[in-house]
């Protein structure tokens, strides 16, 4: 079966040329993860306890250890491959390409 052409999604004014776009995306990744966890009833605690739904990474991105921040950066680096497997791709908006 032939593959369909990737669908394009434009993300508003997000500018991947900005020097800190990876940091912005990593912070968003972590905030999304925290929203999912807290929505399921998880809370912050110094030691992880799955039964009690306690996790030490339910803190602002800036307070994470370097190892934990790297998990979010790694997830962001995997976005293009994940999108490609779904038949999607990221592309700058036409306005960004001409500016």
Assess if residue 95 is contained within a domain. no
Tell me the CATH number at 40: 1.10.490.160
Taking only the tens place, the pLDDT of each residue in 17-53 is: 555 778 888 999 999 999 999 999 999 999 999 999 9
Assess if residue 12 is contained within a domain. no
CA distance 67 to 41: 24
CA–CA distance from 21 to each of 2, 3, 27, 87, 89 (Å)? Answer: 34, 31, 10, 23, 17
pTM: 0.71
Residue-range definition of the domain harbouring residue 52: 20-88
pLDDT at 53: 98
Assess if residue 94 is contained within a domain. no
Taking only the tens place, the pLDDT of each residue in 55-69 is: 999 999 999 999 999
Strands (E), 1-99: 7-9, 43-44, 54-55, 88-90
Total of domains in the chain:
1
């Amino acid at each position: 079966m032939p593959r369909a052409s990737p669908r394009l999604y434009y993300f508003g004014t997000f500018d991947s040329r900005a020097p800190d776009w990876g940091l912005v995306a990593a912070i968003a990744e972590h905030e999304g993860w925290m929203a999912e966890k807290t929505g399921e009833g998880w809370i912050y605690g110094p030691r992880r306890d799955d039964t009690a739904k306690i996790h030490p990474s339910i803190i602002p991105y800036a307070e994470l250890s370097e190892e934990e921040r790297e998990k979010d950066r790694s997830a962001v680096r995997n976005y293009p491959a994940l999108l490609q497997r779904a038949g999607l791709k990221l592309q700058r908006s036409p306005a960004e390409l001409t500016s």
